[in-house]
Structure 1
Amino acid sequence: MLRPLQSYQIVVDVVIAALFALATAPIEIAVNTSQQWSLPIGLLAGVVFGSALALRRLSPGLALGIAWAGALVEMTFGRVPGPASLAVFAVLYTAAAYGTIRVFWFGFGSAIAGAVVAVLYLYIVPGNIDFTATGVSVIVAIVIAAIFAFLLAWTVGALVRSTRRSRVDRAAQQRAQADAIAEQERTRIARDMHDVVAHSLAVVIAQADGARYAAASDSAAQSAALGTISSTARSALADVRLLLAQLRHSQENGPQPTIADLDGLFGQVKAAGLDIRVTVDPAPRGEVPAAVQLAVYRILQEALTNALRHGGTGPVDVGLAWLPARVDVVVRNALPAPAAPPSAPVSGSHGHGLIGMRERALLVGGTLDAGAEAGAFVVRAGIPIGGPG
């Protein structure tokens, strides 16, 4: 029944209600001075309506009930409504603005019923207002005017309620959007982390194995392999540091490779022992959007990493076709012996690597398919140059 309010709000409401009761009680007594019990009933009316005014924000439903009780007290003793009854307008306002849905509609009904009851009370009780000389149309007009006055206070509260609800909904929507953006950023960072670490570790493992085999017979090959391991690890460490910095400070930029870095990528996997054959036909013309360049690089990085980790001993064919409207990417590598049937799942084909490649393609409005074809594992991606939409 009680709404959470700040302490100063409760103090302000109580002070206003006390001043209202002190100001209206003498007038209530003076208006009905000819009636019996004028003094105590006048004081009681001021206290009752003042209490409704004090509770109007803390408990709109309770305040509405107290206001009705005050009106019934006045009607019971046949009193003419005085200035204390003006508290009803404030109570109707807060019932619509801050009350529960039940109190909201109870306030609406009270505005209509209260106006009708007030007019009929003044018409029925002798000595209040003389309606004998008026017609039915005048009485109806007075009822409509009273309903309009009561509903005006309720309607203003309803508008305030709608504004508050819109503000809350807008804040909730903004929080949801911020959470969605943060989740997308975390997903992007996780995807970048997977691409960087998986590729670099695959190269390091391949080079370490080569260095171990060459240790006894070819010291130059061993030295070259160790050099590749060192440079790959340093590059991966720098990228990981940037990604971790992004997690701590969102304004920092993570590693964003472009197609100009593809030669370095091809060199890394060649140094790791992968027999790679690259065909670019046709070559890119003009400036390629940065998002498309990043997608092409990451898809090729993951596809070559999978070929290095899971592929057979044959060559890996990489095809890039920079068409006017899109770029086609094809990576074909032999399956490990013995060759798996085309319908059989390939190691790694359902892991994070392929999921990440598909997400890369989808983010820029493209498509990606991967699977076994005639003894080879093929990755095909089509990415629009203009991006999604």
Structure 2
Amino acid sequence: MARRPGYNLHKASGQARTQINGVEHWLGKYNSHESRRRYRELIEQWEADRKDQAVGLRPDITVGDLVQRYRAFAHDHYRKNGRVTSEVSALESVLRVIEKSHSKTYAADFGPKALKLVRDKMIALGWKRISVNKQAGRIRRMFKWAASEELLSSSVYHDLMTVQGLESGRSCAVESTPVTPVPVDTLTAILPHLRPPVAAMVQLQLLTAMRPGEVLHMRAEEVDCWGDVWEYRPGSHKTEHHGKTRVIFIGPKAQKIIEPFLNATETGYVFRPTMRNNKLPANRPYGRDSYRNAIKRACEKAEVDDFHPHRIRHTAATALRQQGDVETSKIILGHATIAMTEVYAERDHSKARDVMKQLG
């Protein structure tokens, strides 16, 4: 957002001055009523000029029009391997909210107060605080895109950036339940109730800290079985669009689990439902829903609490954090920052207790 020109003192003369769009304005004696009045007049004109610029590019475009344009852009932009990503469905949720409340509003008039109103509607729908903040960010990105397409002035986007995210305990938005690791005893209990490929995927996640999508789409040709520690380089992964590479290290325990499945296929997906059902296409992986539902059924049979497969990664991350330093854990987990690793790994207080047992 453009900074408001300041009311400044010229020490040598004792005069007040301000600079607007590169032009120096002398206002009179510093801190006098006249200089303050003149400064207010100039600032009011400056703000009016900025508003005129905001509507100057496409004064007729409404929020509803902008949503339709951005929706089309998103369907083309957010793609991986020829398919739209989950970002599109997340975006669609908030686009429906803003369409319902501000469809006929001129996009140039959609300011911070309008964004806060949309945010309040998301809270009324029962959306969690973290989700509300993420969705507000998606709205901002839509207006940033509009500026890049010269549909709106960038000042509209910069004004929206002044709206701070909701803070924990300082809003009426519902707080998210922290994602916790799955107890290892729970994982052990469900293994007998899973088909061999699914049981192998659960164990592999636990031993390697893979994301569910990484284990589901593992291909034999992407696994380098040389040396004491194998390497799996997914052809497609979460951060590939940022130009980052992903290497998953497979130790001896995990190798024993995956080896029978690698021996069964030289190329293609390592874990396939066709191993049990020959009517399905030969080169088809397990789907996310199939994996999730298989675990859910196994939990029911084992009479343990149900869990999402992604929580297995949290269990693995916590084990890594207990055994190694945080930088090593970050590399194994494929995180860009240590802060993200700390989110995934449950805090281990045992070392702190040992230190204080001696010092305290």
TM-score range normalised by the length of the shorter chain: under 0.3
- More helix, by proportion: 1
State the TM-score, normalizing by the size of structure 1. 0.20
State the TM-score, normalizing by the size of structure 2. 0.22
